[in-house]
Chains A and B, each alone.
Chain A
Amino acid sequence: MALAVVAFLTLLSVLPAVAQDAAKEPAYRAFPLIGSRLAVWAVAQLHLNFAAFILGVPIFAVIIEIIGWRTGDARYDWLSHEFVKLTFAAFSTTALLGALLLFLFVGYYPKFWTYMTSIFFPTYWVYALLFFAETFTVYVWYYGWDWLSGPRKGIHVGLGVLSNLFGTAILLVANSWVTFMISPAGIDESGALKGSVWAAINNFTWMPINIHRLIANIVFGGTIAAAYAAFRFLGAKTDEERARYDWMGYIGNFVALSAFIVLPFAGYYLGREIYAFNQTMGITMMGGFMSWLWIIQAILIGVLFMGSNYYLWLGMERIPGSERYRRYVPIMIGILAFGFMVWATPRSMVITLDEARAMGGTHHPVLGFLGVMSAKNTAVNMMILTTFLSFVLYRRANRISTKSWVGAGMIVQWVALGLAAVVVVFYGVYGYFVESMVRIGFSVYQVLAVLGAIGVVMAIDIPMFKGARSTGTIRWGTIAPRSQYVLILLAVTFTWLMGLMGFARSGIRQHWHVYGVMRDSSVDAVTPAIGYAANMITIVTIAFFALVMFIFWLGGLGEKGMAGGSGHHAPAPVFAGGSDADPTPAPSRESTGGRSPQRS
């Protein structure tokens, strides 16, 4: 990694010279065999996958570490270390892919890079300094795990928080470049910077993409970590190992699901800002040549919702006392399946003239109504509410509240969920009777209703089940093996979805490097169709998982021959088929004062 940092800084120091030379050079060069676009596409997608992973995982790793520190539960400290270990192994690859991407831009798109440098050169230094700070902090955080334990645990946690702050700042800087390409700001008609670089950074889509990516990175990190745990679960030799990775997979999925529930809202915000920046771009994205892409996205998100819920339901089977909630599962399947179908229904279809005549137009007389945003917003909000309900039932699966006000609390919770559902459906139907500009605003009310219901239910649920009576301990490791394939399905689907959304983000610029400012006049100026993009996304996703497997395997080599199979860090804590009455990541009470017993 140090080599990558040195290479990056060296490259940065010569960038102005490279940029000047580029002005005298051709606008484009051709990458051998596959062409420049595919080369940039592959490396950019791989880089973003790795970057999302190493930025997302530490966010929840440090939260888990804090939980372990404050409660004294060694399991959380072990789990946090496991997560950071995965991140650490991928760090160098991310940096090298980033450097490779930069080489490709400088070498194959020199004119474009010259222009970007003319706007953003000051930020390159900020990026480099942040990168150095992030690297240094993560090194100390990872290698200082044992050194900074016990009374110094607070310092260690502080390093984790600091590394996340640096990581997020890196994300914000890099996002300013990519969002400027979508929605340029702070420049005059000739494309030159008018005043401060801040105006170019703070463009229309910068903050929405910051938020969207930050949340998506957490989801992505959670799914990959859960898939890693699933892989280890399936290959486990002992019940103890199986129990440990069952728990790790559950936590990974819990993290992913928690962030995933709010991701569509961040997506709405981004969509609104794209429309606010340029109506033509927004319409091209949703109703123009890219409209079919959203059908694929609907399928993928449907799979994610169904998969996450299915995993929770399977997980309930290892919780004694959960039987009383199984009757809700068919209803939830029904809502999710119906929502999935609505979301995947296209507005119009490419059909022959005879078919159109038979159908009475290009829009189906009934199903056509399900293809518009009113129906889709309603569907996704109902799916979010249902998924949240799944989580609530899972959470209380083996607990019975002992509070005197439990009846009233339950009623308020159901009323909150019911009211949210009514608001969502009402605005969904009402949206058919108003102009599009008014309709867009309705999605805000729907989102607020859902978020409000989630807030109310959790605000009641947490105190209501505090000190609850247990109906039995969770039998960690006894979950059906097919559940682990669900975790792998979620990781593969979300990675593929990231590739698809990357194509959408880049594709909405169409034949512009920088929208409306710098035209793409290369041989690759055509924006390909969805099938071509899907082929490319799949190839890169396969390469990503192959690299991830290789890196994890390399990281695992250090464990070979170590006592307890956990490397330098403390051996994993014992689970013995379940030790916790609480299926959520609430702690047990085996206080160790923030120090793992094996490490003293």
Chain B
Amino acid sequence: MRVPVAVKVGAFALFVMGTYTYYANSIPQIQSKPPAELSLEGGNVTPAQLVKAGEETFKTKGTCEICHRIGQKGTRAPDLAGIGSRAGKVKAGQSAKAYIIESLLQPGAHLVEGYPNIMPQVDKPPIALNRSEVWALTAFLESLGGTVDVKLDDIPKTVGAGAAGGGATAELKLPGDAKAGEAIFTGKGGCIACHKAGKIGASPVGPDLSQIAKIQTPDYLMRKILDPAGAGTVAGFPKGVMPPMFGQTLTAKDYMDLVAFLMTLK
């Protein structure tokens, strides 16, 4: 039987595409996941926890490893081994933490000889670290040969402002009623049992939310309420404590009111 040309050509084309597809599936598979937000403000964080959180930021959201190595000279950026001790000796009168913070927020201020001025500001998009993350990252870098002494107050309060990306996000207006949301917080939602929110509540079980709107986006808060484990746990607090059933117990209005209230906490 004579095979029609269309069948032969079709089979050949499928074979070619199949080969490419098979090969593409055979090599290492690397996804690029959106970075999770780290929130440490209001929590009691030990230096060790801070350093660990900073290391995570270094490897993930900070994208530092694309250029920097620790214990190995990079082609695009300097080796960071021992930066915790070296940083305090670069400029007379400037502490290690001040040097590191300035290098992160204004990378052009301290260019290492032989390297181009290519590092982006870490608190601006696209890296867009928030204040907690810059704090943790500074602690991690200090730990590389130095002493971890950075405090949250050392990080300028302006850090991370607009870090979620401006544009349409900045225009977001929540439809909920903040006043009604406060009632949900203290009543039906039971949030007050674990969280402090300004003058309301005092429980230390969960993070202090008194300034949560400064450091978190509505997207994060909405996700955190519905999926506490999936949104991540604030460093220094035990995992799995926050109940996962708010999606069932709160009505849509309750939910939006609660988020609107939380977004007033600045």
A30 at the interface (CB under 8 A from B): no
Give bound CA distance, A512 to B167, whole Å: 11
By the criterion CB–CB under 8 Å, are A296 and B31 in contact? no
Structural contact, B12 and A280, CB atoms closer than 8 A: no
Q: Are the C-beta atoms of A534 and B169 separated by less than 8 Å?
A: no
Q: Which residues of B contact A534 (CB under 8 A)?
A: 20-21, 24-25
Q: 20 A–B contact pairs at CB < 8 A?
A: A23-B171, A191-B168, A231-B9, A280-B66, A280-B126, A288-B63, A296-B23, A349-B28, A435-B75, A489-B16, A511-B35, A512-B126, A514-B167, A515-B126, A516-B126, A516-B128, A517-B167, A525-B33, A527-B32, A534-B21
Q: What 5 additional pairs, Cβ within 8 angstroms, besides A192-B167, A435-B75, A516-B125?
A: A279-B120, A288-B63, A488-B9, A516-B128, A529-B31
Of B9, B165, B170, B171, which is within 8 A of A512 by CB? B165
* Complex CA–CA separation, A235 to B7 (angstroms): 11
B14 partner residues in chain A, CB cutoff 8 A: 542
Please measure, in the bound complex, the distance between the C-alpha atom of A23 and the C-alpha atom of B168, giving whole angstroms.
9
User: Bound complex: CA of A300 vs CA of B77, how far in Å?
Assistant: 32
Q: Which of B8, B24, B119, B165 contacts A518 (CB 8 A)?
A: B165
Q: Nearest 6 CB-CB pairs, A to B?
A: A191-B167, A534-B24, A516-B125, A529-B29, A511-B34, A531-B25
Cβ distance B64 to chain A, nearest Cβ, rounded Å: 10
CB–CB A111/B5 < 8 A? no
Chain B residue at smallest Cβ distance from A508: B32
Smallest CB gap from B8: residue in A: A234
Inter-chain CA distance A279–B126, complex, in Å, is 11
Residues of the B chain whose Cβ atoms lie less than 8 Å from the Cβ of A528: 31
A283 contact from B17, B76, B127, Cβ within 8 A:
B76
Give per-residue flags for B111-135: 1 if the beta carbon is below 8 A from chain A beta carbons, else 0: 0001010111000111110000000
| B164 on the A face (CB < 8 A) | yes
Say whether A299 contacts B23, CB under 8 Å. Answer: yes
Residues of A within 8 A of B120 (CB): 278-280
> Quick check: A538 and B17 within 8 Å, CB to CB?
yes
Task: Tell me how far the C-beta of A554 lies from the nearest C-beta in chain B, rounded to whole angstroms.
Answer: 15
Q: Contact at B29–A530, with CB atoms within 8 Å?
A: yes
A545 to chain B, nearest CB (A): 6
Q: A289 at interface (Cβ–Cβ under 8 A)?
A: yes
Q: What is the interface size of chain B, counting residues whose CB is below 8 A from a CB of the partner?
A: 49
B residues lining the A interface (CB < 8 Å):
5-6, 8-9, 12-14, 16-18, 20-21, 23-25, 27-35, 63, 66-67, 75-76, 114, 116, 118-120, 124-128, 162, 164-171, 219
How many angstroms between the C-alpha atoms of A592 and B154 in the bound complex? Answer: 85
Given contacts A289-B32, A296-B20, A436 and B5 within 8 Å (CB-CB): no
Q: Mark A267-309, 1 if CB is under 8 A from B, else 0.
A: 0000000000011110110011110100110011000000000
A506 to B8 alpha-carbon distance, docked (Å): 34
Return the chain A residue nearest B4 by Cβ: A235
Closest B residue to A23 using CB positions: B171
Query: Which residues of A lie under 8 Å from residue B31 when comparing CB positions?
Result: 289, 526-529
CA distance A535 to B25 in the complex (A): 8
A479 to B200, CA, bound (A): 86
Give the CA-CA distance A521 to B167 in the complex, in Å.
Answer: 13
A111–B173 Cα distance when bound, in Å, is 13
What is the chain A residue whose CB lies nearest that of B18? A538
- Is the CB–CB distance between A492 and B17 below 8 Å? yes
- Is A149 at the interface (CB under 8 A from chain B)? no
**A114 (CB) vs chain B CBs: closest residue:** B168
* Chain A residues numbered 475-521 whose CB sits less than 8 Å from any CB in chain B: 485, 488-489, 492-493, 496, 507, 510-512, 514-521
Task: Determine whether the beta carbon of A518 is less than 8 Å from that of B27.
Answer: no
Q: In whole angstroms, what is the CA distance A114 to B27 when docked? A: 39
Q: Which of B34, B63, B167 contacts A280 (CB 8 A)?
A: B63
Q: Which residue of A lies closest to B126 (CB)?
A: A516
Q: Which residues of B contact A289 (CB under 8 A)?
A: 30-32
Contact residue among A112, A526, A537 (Cβ-Cβ distance under 8 Å from B168): A112
B30's partner among A281, A295, A511, A529 (CB-CB below 8 A) is A529
Q: How far is the CB of A408 from chain B (nearest CB, A)?
A: 45
**B27 (CB) vs chain A CBs: closest residue:** A292
CA distance A212 to B126 in the complex (A): 26
Flag if A287 contacts B167 (CB, 8 Å).
no
The residue that B32 contacts in the complex, of A112, A231, A349, A526, with Cβ under 8 A, is A526
8 Å CB contact of B76 from A111, A235, A436, A538: A436
Q: Is B63 a contact partner of A519 (Cβ separation < 8 A)?
A: no
CB distance B166 to A517 under 8 Å? yes
What residues on B are CB-neighbors of A105 within 8 Å?
A: none
Tell yes or no: A354 within 8 A of B by CB.
no
Residues of chain A within 8 A (CB-CB) of B12 are: 485, 488-489
A284/B33 contact (C-beta < 8 A), A112-B168, A533-B24 known: no
**Is A127 engaged at the interface, CB distance under 8 Å to the other chain?**
no
User: B128 contacts which chain A residues (CB < 8 A)?
Assistant: 516
Contacts of A526 on B, CB cut-off 8 Å?
Answer: 31-34
Contacts of A527 in B (CB 8 A): 31-32
Taking the closest CB of chain A, its distance from the CB of B220, in whole angstroms, is: 9
Contact indicator A281/B32 (Cβ below 8 Å)? no
A530 to B67, CA, bound (A): 22
Alpha-carbon gap, A296 to B23, bound state (A): 8
Question: In this complex, what residue of A is CB-closest to B161?
Answer: A189
Q: Closest B-chain residue to A521, C-beta based?
A: B219
Closest B residue, CB atoms, query A532: B29
Given A279-B120, A516-B165, A519-B165, do A435 and B20 touch, yes or no (CB 8 Å)?
no
Known pairs A520-B34, A526-B32; A296 contacts B24 (CB<8 A) = yes
Measured CA separation A531–B33 after assembly (Å) = 16
B17, B35, B170 — which one has the most chain A CB atoms within 10 A of its CB?
B17
CB distance from B47 to the nearest CB of A (A): 29
Cα A464 to Cα B111 with chains together (Å): 57
Q: Tell me if A94 counts as interface (CB < 8 A to partner B).
A: no
Q: How far is the CA of A600 from the CA of B2 in the complex (A)?
A: 42
The answer to whether A280 touches B25, judged by C-beta atoms less than 8 angstroms apart, is no
* Residues 96-132 of A at the B interface (beta carbon under 8 Å): 111-112, 114-115
CB of B98, distance to nearest CB on chain A (Å) = 25
Task: Please pick, from B118, B127, B168, the residue contacting A111 in the complex, using a CB distance under 8 A.
Answer: B168
What chain A residues lie within 8 Å of B34 (beta carbons)? Answer: 510-511, 519-521, 525-526
The docked-state distance in angstroms from the alpha carbon of A80 to that of B7 is 28
Closest Cβ neighbor of A190 among chain B residues = B166
Q: Check A299/B20 contact, CB under 8 A, given A517-B167, A518-B169, A519-B165.
A: yes
Q: Taking CB as reference atom, which chain B residue is nearest A518? A: B167
Interchain nearest-CB distance for B42 vs A (Å): 24
Partner pick for B126 among A115, A278, A295, CB 8 A cutoff: A278
Min C-beta distance of B158 to chain A, whole Å: 12
Verify B29–A535 contact, CB threshold 8 A. Answer: no
B13 surroundings in chain A (CB, below 8 A)? 488, 492, 545
Bound Cα distance A545, B6 (Å): 12
